[in-house]
Chains A and B, each alone.
Chain A
């Protein structure tokens, strides 16, 4: 089994819930590249969770096909399919009668791995989500904080090296500081493993922080699918503009790096900023009393940055 991501291809997916007057998912097609981090964004009831749950067949579409790396999801039993797809939910759903280690071991046990291999994998995963194995392995879920529980939830979902990871508002129930930490961990794990991730949220800032590509949904349909900066700068409709609060230029600055806006080096500067930091941080430093920052790569100045450069970068996103 390879740990790298699988491509997900959804074609003409329709989901109808009994008794509902409109389709929960209305003829949606979406291609997700191997290793891509796609965020499904929209208000509650827009169909984003339902669409996500068609991928592991917790929801069976009335029409349409889903393929993972070109292979029709219906070629295997739902159970076999799900054991190859990680799944993280907001309520976490850790099994209260099993230790942290046994929770993480669930899918490898279902797959019939040998004891030693499972034990080694459990420790490896706890370390991956930054829970010290020796301290956490034998604790019970109820003894953990909400953030720690969701780390275990992520470890459990990743246990059998799934090539696709589905995350359904996973950090919606934890406080802001913990949420930011978990988002950082998710990005780090995504970079380390290359797993394809589909992530559902209604939190615009979370989508902007995480996504390679944002898929905006409304009333069961995809209304825009593009890289975060373009969704912000060029919203496809008034609905998207309003949802994203796209007029907020500062929000866009968060997605641009100092490197993207800098002028050639040489001008007199006060203060410095790393080339990879966001323009939002740069603006903050400028507002604190510098007319021009030195943009550095390590110790070397590679450019300079002033107010007019920041304004120019914003204008460039609208072209």
Chain B
């Protein structure tokens, strides 16, 4: 608390950095997961192996993955984002495909029967219907990413992790408390905000 009060600029900067790392990761992860999720929903042959692969990545210890990636991509933001995007894929692809598979067959039948192209059916009917499940996945992925992103501080990518590791290295509990508080606030805030979106999506579809 003392650190937070004495260095509000430093904490704010690290928080913004952290948000930036997370936003880039989730943006890229979504852009990747949307086509993969659609593919998985359309083809059972793709779905099985793809989810096994993503699940395997998801179970790897994050610090080990980060250390491994550093040997190829060096220290910094790029390495961090690669790890974060890879971790988020499992939850995102799973929820997107499960959400799409949960759309009643009659709706897709009606959409095509009325003359929608498969893409129109996807965008106008299936995604809106699957939105609650997809947003739930987005929430889980975002909260996990906020947490894993603290490791970025260890490999010179900044964020709240930098504050935490500096605190650990310098035996400065004040910095650790400030970093932890900020990280927890971010995670809880994102969770609450996306829960709100989820409820909104549910109320619009059911």
Q: Which of A91-145 contact B (CB under 8 A)?
A: 91-97, 106-107, 110, 142
Q: Is the CB of B107 within 8 A of A89?
A: no
Nearest CB in chain A to that of B204: its residue: A97
Interface of B is mostly: helix
Interface size class, chain B: 20 to 34
Q: Is the CB of B114 within 8 A of A106?
A: yes
Interface size class, chain A: 20 to 34
In the assembled complex, which residues on chain B have CB atoms less than 8 Å from the CB atom of A91?
104-106, 109
In the assembled complex, which residues on chain B have CB atoms less than 8 Å from the CB atom of A89?
106, 109-110, 113
Q: Which of B103-152 contact A (CB under 8 A)?
A: 104-107, 109-117, 120, 124-125, 128-129, 131
**Among candidates A82, A94, A96, A107, residue contacting B205 with C-beta atoms closer than 8 Å:** A96
In the assembled complex, which residues on chain A have CB atoms less than 8 Å from the CB atom of B6?
none
**Among candidates B105, B115, B131, residue contacting A82 with C-beta atoms closer than 8 Å:** B115
Q: Is B45 an interface residue (CB 8 A)?
A: no
Closest 7 CB pairs of A and B: A93-B110, A91-B106, A83-B115, A82-B115, A93-B106, A87-B113, A97-B128
What 16 additional pairs, Cβ within 8 angstroms, besides A79-B115, A97-B204, A110-B115? A56-B113, A82-B115, A84-B115, A89-B106, A91-B104, A91-B105, A91-B109, A93-B110, A95-B110, A95-B125, A96-B107, A97-B128, A106-B114, A110-B120, A153-B110, A156-B114
Q: Could you show 22 A-B contacts with beta carbons less than 8 Å apart?
A: A58-B109, A81-B115, A82-B113, A82-B115, A83-B115, A87-B113, A87-B114, A89-B110, A91-B105, A93-B106, A93-B107, A93-B109, A94-B110, A95-B107, A95-B111, A95-B125, A96-B129, A96-B205, A97-B131, A110-B115, A110-B116, A110-B120
A-to-B contact residues, CB < 8 Å: 56, 58, 79-84, 87, 89, 91-97, 106-107, 110, 142, 153, 156-157
